[in-house]
């Protein structure tokens, strides 16, 4: 019973990681950059969603609006920050991204204050009783949303022109270009989708804790990197599985070896062990 | 010179040694490390504990250096297995693992850290001079390595491992040497920090510290000795320079990291070089 | 055009005047707190609390005819920043007393510098046990973790009469020293600790810990944390159907905790040093004036910083000079009524005062009980 509940909690945490990490892995697959500022967009999503909700009282309105807005910001980040330095060594984009992330965190603090914001009437706080396990509506919605969104995305990637174009560009940019695929458009699309997903994750996380703080992107900023590496960098399927695996490892780890290592150390210890056995991550591209 | 200037000077010199040590691995040998603070921490803890056990300063510092270098050698072994971004995230994981372990060790003070580290007994000015001499030695030594055969081999590994292999360079060995030297120097910097602060806690050696030192190297100009010194000076003294607008200090820091990478990806050293080149060209044209 | 010119001129004159006034006869008190970075919220509360104390002292005539000047620096809660700041406060600003409105790491590092220079230093709310052990010039106006942990054990075991307890411990110096104090005193009150689970200060999702705690079926939960971890923790505990009492500490002590946890916060009891229903005029005036100045309700951090400045001002007044030995001796002899109660210091420089237990009732912190049991409150002398 306890094991089942821990497994469930791991899956909940994992599905949150999944929505964040998929955007990151899309960006990596396309551009080979570690996009740390993705976590800043995650926090921005939390803020925008909360502000819209507190104004209108409608989550149905807040979610797509926040996702779309943050998606646009993500496109702007690509255009203004990454595009000019793509031909540089990878650490250049990495450090630029870290700088951007620090600046974003500080901007949130300066604009919205250091104490964090809370929902006026937090929605989705009811819970259902599944065989004695209480699950909150927000948790259910998060798992449901991540399955639906990622399912729809993979369907689109397989069955639409633009989806095929995206996959082709990731596989072989030059070949794709020779077939007349506009690589620039594909990049914008990827940044839009990835950032919108991060924003949704930000809203779900803030619903679970009823708190949006300037530093809420801190953990995802590095944990998501670990997840996409574990999943094989740029591999979407691998990233999804890695998210769930890390979620479950953490859920059990914090209980059974929590007095030896903290949550982060457990996740990274697992990552290092896997990488030493499989240097290309769980699901290597080639 | 008041105690304020002395303490700033000491921190700058310690940071120069620390940044130089990372430059050895990342700048010279091209292996990105996102977990360099772990070795800084190993040196600090080792020196701090030995100092408390009654060992003289030189012995404690030396032991910290050796111990950090040995840990670095072990971590360096992972660089033989994983490459590039995988290596970056692995080293980041090492940092989190180090913190996670230290936090839970009662003999290392756990969360409370190590306090009452005995004084170095050479007075504030004496210690500043001592650290300054060490910093100069490290700079000189870096210079020597850069110009030696080893420096050439490092360069080849950094450029392209496969070609270096073809040229008959034992890539693995040189990577390990770079890791051993770099991490040992980080251990030295850490030991000096322990004597300077006389109090260390795990959080001093977290991921943020790793990012800070990487920023010093990258902002200064990766691989350039003069650049790294300038970058370290700038980023260490920046909080002091902007003390009067303390609310925006971190924001400016983040924007600076981003701005330098975006507009001068080769760091300040690159900026100066191209500026000098521009002047020379103009002269030649005249 | 002429008007703006006049205004600018007037402003310039005003600035110059105030500059001159500041230069000649003020008493300088140094203050460092994390104004940027992850701990900025506590830094903001602490600095407003300290500024309020300065205003109150200056309004009532200052110290021996001189006004207090508070010099505030941002340390980002980093030890590597607080060392140069301490040196600057001592060497350049020549402060009479230094006050930390920051966390343990930066405070412990700065304490060493102040001790070496023989300038009195007061830690407002940093709880590391080694801070006051830096030497005889270092004092603390908040409880040691161990003292508060023991008070928590008394609250659980004696006042509430609960015997089977699960601990949820924040993994930092604050949580760990609370846990140590709680476990030490638990036996005396017949408390059985059924389990202890740790979380990191960055965690906001406690699903697995909640599931494990629930399986223990405890009578009470002793959970350490700050309002931003405790808020989500309590609401998640309640949502999963855990209804037993939860006991927290001064880290919860902020209106923000109640805002985050909402209805789940009702009935949570904490050990702290600020009594919202106090009849004590110092406390009552602090609570109302703080809310007016800051625009939000007072918290423990603000009250502690306020207390530290009040202690400093009182000591300089009593010493009759700014001589550091006289001021140090005056602090050591402090017996003062302030916003956090009546306080004095022991030989080590640790504060001795009663623990105020507060409970959440109808969305507000209210009085629950007081612990003034000397056996528990006495901090170590060494």
Q: Determine contact, residues A248/A265, Cβ cutoff 8 Å.
A: no
Contacts of C260 in chain A (CB under 8 A): 116, 118, 209-211
Please count the structural domains in chain C.
2
Query: What's the confidence (pLDDT) of residue B168?
Result: 84
Interface predicted TM-score (ipTM): 0.89
Which 7-36 residues of chain C touch chain B by CB within 8 A?
Answer: 35-36
- Do C218 and C266 fall within a single domain? yes
Query: What's the confidence (pLDDT) of residue C7?
Result: 52
Pick the range with the lowest mean pLDDT from A72-81, B98-107, B112-121, B236-245: B236-245
Contact B11 C80 (CB under 8 A): yes
How many CA atoms lie within 13 Å of C346's alpha carbon, on the beta-carbon side? Answer: 17
Backbone angles phi, psi at C137, to 5 degrees: -100, 5
User: If you average pLDDT over residues C131-137, what whole number do you get?
Assistant: 92
Q: Residues of chain B with pLDDT > 70: what percent?
A: 100
**Predicted confidence band of residue C9 (pLDDT cuts 50, 70, 90):** very low
Minimal CA separation from A260 to chain C, in Å: 10
A117, B259, A101, A214: which is closest to C36 by C-alpha? A214
Contacts of C172 in chain B (CB under 8 A): 111
User: If you average pLDDT over residues B275-281, what whole number do you get?
Assistant: 83
Residues B145-167 pLDDT 10s: 999 988 888 988 888 888 888 88
State the DSSP H helix or E strand holding residue A247, giving kind and residue range, or none if neither: helix A236-256
Q: For domain A2-277, is the CATH number 3.10.450?
A: no
Kindly compute the dihedral angle of the four CA atoms of residues C136, C140, C145, C148, in this order, to the nearest 10 degrees.
120
Using CB atoms, pick whichever of A9, A115, A118 lies closest to residue C208. Answer: A9
User: If you average pLDDT over residues A190-206, what whole number do you get?
Assistant: 93
Q: What is the mean pLDDT of chain B?
A: 91
Residue linked to tokens 């509360």: C45
Can you give the residue range of the structural domain that contains C234? 145-272+356-377
Using CB atoms, pick whichever of A5, A210, A259 lies closest to residue C211. Answer: A5
CA gap C351, B189 in Å, rounded:
37
List the structure tokens of C283.
């406390």
Query: What's the confidence (pLDDT) of residue B32?
Result: 87
Helices (H), strands (E): how many in chain A? 11, 2
Using CB atoms, pick whichever of B85, B94, B96 lies closest to residue A264. Answer: B96
Contacting residues for C292 by C-beta, under 8 A, at least 6 apart = none
CA gap B170, B161 in Å, rounded:
10
In-domain check, residue C9: no
Q: Is 70 exceeded by the pLDDT of residue B235?
A: yes
- Strand C97-100 to strand C121-123: parallel, antiparallel, or no bridges (unpaired)? parallel
- Do C73 and C158 fall within a single domain? no
- Do C111 and C32 fall within a single domain? yes
* CATH at C233: 3.40.50.2300
- Do C252 and C111 fall within a single domain? no
User: If you average pLDDT over residues B181-186, what whole number do you get?
Assistant: 96
CA gap A224, B75 in Å, rounded:
22
CA gap C127, C132 in Å, rounded:
10
CA gap A75, A195 in Å, rounded:
8
- Do C243 and C288 fall within a single domain? no
Contact A2 C215 (CB under 8 A): yes
Q: Is 70 exceeded by the pLDDT of residue C4?
A: no
In-domain check, residue C294: yes
Q: Residues of chain C with pLDDT > 90: what percent?
A: 69
Contact B250 C80 (CB under 8 A): no
Q: Is 50 exceeded by the pLDDT of residue C115?
A: yes
Contact C105 B203 (CB under 8 A): yes
**Predicted confidence band of residue C378 (pLDDT cuts 50, 70, 90):** confident
Using CB atoms, pick whichever of A28, A32, A268 lies closest to residue B97. Answer: A268
SS3 call for C345: strand
Backbone angles phi, psi at C121, to 5 degrees: -140, 130
Fold (CATH) for B3-206? ABC transporter involved in vitamin B12 uptake, BtuC (1.10.3470)
Residues B239-251 pLDDT 10s: 888 777 778 888 9
CA gap B169, B161 in Å, rounded:
9
Q: What is the mean pLDDT of chain C?
A: 89
Residue linked to tokens 């599985």: A241
Helices (H), chain C: 2-24, 40-59, 79-91, 104-117, 145-154, 173-186, 207-216, 227-239, 255-261, 281-294, 300-319, 324-332, 374-377
Q: Residues of chain B with pLDDT > 90: what percent?
A: 58
Residues B125-146 pLDDT 10s: 999 999 999 999 999 999 999 9
Contacts of A259 in chain C (CB under 8 A): 196, 198
Backbone angles phi, psi at C323, to 5 degrees: -65, 130
**Domain boundaries along the sequence of chain A:** 2-277
Contacting residues for A149 by C-beta, under 8 A, at least 6 apart = A19, A197, A200
List the structure tokens of C15.
């600035």
In-domain check, residue C14: no
In-domain check, residue C150: yes
Query: What's the confidence (pLDDT) of residue B286?
Result: 66
Query: What's the confidence (pLDDT) of residue A284?
Result: 66
- Do C265 and C295 fall within a single domain? no
Give the residues across from A128 on adjacent strands.
Answer: A135
Q: Is 60 exceeded by the pLDDT of residue C13?
A: no
User: If you average pLDDT over residues A80-99, what whole number do you get?
Assistant: 89
**Predicted confidence band of residue C376 (pLDDT cuts 50, 70, 90):** confident
Residues C54-78 pLDDT 10s: 999 999 988 888 999 999 999 988 8
- Do C185 and C289 fall within a single domain? no
- Do C134 and C232 fall within a single domain? no
């Amino acid at each position: 019973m306890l094991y089942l509940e821990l497994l469930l909690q791991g899956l909940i945490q994992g599905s949150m990681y999944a929505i964040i990490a998929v955007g990151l892995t899309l960006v990596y697959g396309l551009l080979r950059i570690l996009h740390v500022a993705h976590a800043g967009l995650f926090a921005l999503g939390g803020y925008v969603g909360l502000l819209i909700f507190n104004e209108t009282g409608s989550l149905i309105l807040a979610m797509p609006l926040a996702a779309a807005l943050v998606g646009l910001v993500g496109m702007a980040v690509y255009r203004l920050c990454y595009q000019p330095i793509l031909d540089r060594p990878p650490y250049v984009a990495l450090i630029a991204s870290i700088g951007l992330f620090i600046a974003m965190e500080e901007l949130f603090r300066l604009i919205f204050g250091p104490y964090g914001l809370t929902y006026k009437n937090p929605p989705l706080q009811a819970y259902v009783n599944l065989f004695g396990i209480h699950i909150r509506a927000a948790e259910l919605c998060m798992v449901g949303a991540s399955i639906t969104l990622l399912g729809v995305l993979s369907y689109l990637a397989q069955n639409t022109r633009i989806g095929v174009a995206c996959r082709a560009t990731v596989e072989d940019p030059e070949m794709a270009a020779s077939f007349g695929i506009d690589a620039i458009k594909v990049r914008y699309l990827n940044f839009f989708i990835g950032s919108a997903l991060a924003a949704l994750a930000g809203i779900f996380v803030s619903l679970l804790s009823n708190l949006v703080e300037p530093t809420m992107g801190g953990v995802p900023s590095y944990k998501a990197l670990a997840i996409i590496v574990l999943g094989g960098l740029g591999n979407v399927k691998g990233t999804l599985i890695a998210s769930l695996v890390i979620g479950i490892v953490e859920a059990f780890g914090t209980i059974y070896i929590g007095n030896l290592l903290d949550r982060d150390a457990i996740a990274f210890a697992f990552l290092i062990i896997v990488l030493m056995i499989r240097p290309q991550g769980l699901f290597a591209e080639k | 010179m008041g105690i304020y200037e002395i303490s700033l000077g000491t921190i700058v010199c310690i940071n120069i040694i620390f940044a130089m040590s990372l430059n050895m691995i990342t700048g010279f040998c091209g292996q990105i490390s996102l977990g360099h603070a772990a070795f800084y921490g190993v040196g600090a803890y080792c020196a701090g504990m030995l100092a408390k056990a009654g060992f003289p300063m030189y012995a404690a510092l030396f032991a910290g250096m050796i111990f950090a270098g040995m840990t670095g050698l072990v971590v360096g072994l992972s660089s033989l297995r994983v490459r590039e971004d995988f290596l970056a995230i692995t080293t980041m994981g090492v940092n989190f693992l180090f913190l996670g372990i230290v936090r839970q060790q009662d003999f290392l003070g756990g969360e409370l850290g190590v306090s009452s580290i005995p004084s170095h007994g050479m007075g504030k000015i004496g210690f500043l001079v001592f650290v300054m001499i060490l910093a100069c030695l490290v700079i000189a030594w870096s210079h020597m390595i850069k110009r030696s055969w080893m420096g050439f081999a490092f360069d080849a590994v950094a450029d392209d491992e496969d070609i270096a292999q073809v040229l008959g360079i034992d890539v693995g060995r040189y990577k390990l040497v770079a890791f051993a030297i770099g991490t040992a120097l980080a251990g030295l910097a850490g030991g000096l920090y322990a004597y300077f602060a006389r109090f260390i806690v795990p959080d001093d050696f977290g991921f943020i510290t790793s990012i800070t030192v990487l920023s010093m190297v990258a902002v200064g100009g990766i691989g350039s000795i003069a650049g790294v010194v300038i970058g370290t000076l700038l980023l260490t003294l920046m909080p002091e320079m902007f003390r009067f607008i303390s609310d925006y200090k971190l924001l400016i820091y983040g924007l600076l990291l981003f701005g330098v990478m975006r507009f001068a990806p080769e760091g300040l050293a690159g900026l100066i070089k191209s500026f000098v080149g521009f002047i020379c060209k103009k002269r030649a044209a005249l | 055009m002429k008007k703006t010119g006049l205004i600018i001129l007037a402003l310039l004159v005003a600035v110059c005047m105030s500059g001159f006034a500041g230069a000649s006869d003020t008493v300088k008190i140094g203050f460092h707190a994390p104004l940027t970075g992850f701990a900025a919220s506590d830094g903001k509360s602490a600095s407003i609390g300290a500024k309020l104390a300065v205003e109150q002292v200056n309004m009532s005539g200052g110290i021996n005819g001189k006004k207090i000047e508070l010099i505030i620096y941002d340390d980002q809660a980093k030890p590597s920043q607080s060392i140069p700041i301490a040196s600057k406060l001592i060497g350049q600003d020549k402060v009479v007393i230094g006050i930390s409105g920051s966390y343990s790491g930066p405070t412990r590092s700065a304490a060493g510098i102040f001790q070496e220079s023989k300038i009195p230093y007061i830690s407002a709310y940093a709880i590391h046990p080694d801070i006051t052990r830096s030497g005889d010039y270092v004092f603390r106006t908040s409880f040691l973790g161990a003292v508060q942990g023991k008070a928590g054990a008394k609250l659980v075991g004696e006042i509430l009469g609960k015997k089977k307890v699960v601990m949820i411990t924040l993994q930092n110096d604050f949580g760990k020293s609370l846990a140590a104090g709680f476990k030490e005193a638990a036996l005396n009150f017949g408390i059985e600790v059924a389990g202890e689970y740790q979380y990191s200060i960055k965690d906001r999702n406690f699903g697995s810990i909640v599931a494990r705690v629930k399986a223990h079926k405890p009578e009470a939960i002793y959970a350490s944390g700050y309002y931003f971890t405790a808020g989500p923790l309590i609401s998640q505990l309640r949502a999963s159907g855990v209804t037993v009492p939860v006991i927290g500490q001064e880290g919860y002590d902020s209106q923000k905790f109640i805002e985050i946890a909402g209805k789940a916060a009702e009935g949570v009891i904490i050990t702290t040093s600020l009594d919202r229903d106090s009849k004590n005029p110092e406390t009552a005036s602090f609570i109302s004036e703080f809310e007016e100045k800051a625009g939000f309700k007072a918290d423990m951090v603000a009250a502690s910083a306020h207390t530290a400045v009040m202690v400093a001002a009182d000591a300089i007044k009593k010493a009759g000079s700014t001589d550091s030995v006289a001021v140090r001796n005056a602090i050591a002899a402090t017996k003062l009524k302030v916003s956090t109660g009546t306080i004095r210091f022991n030989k080590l420089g640790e504060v001795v005062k009663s623990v105020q237990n507060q409970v959440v009732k109808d969305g507000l912190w209210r009085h629950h009980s007081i612990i003034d049991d000397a056996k528990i409150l006495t901090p170590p002398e060494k």
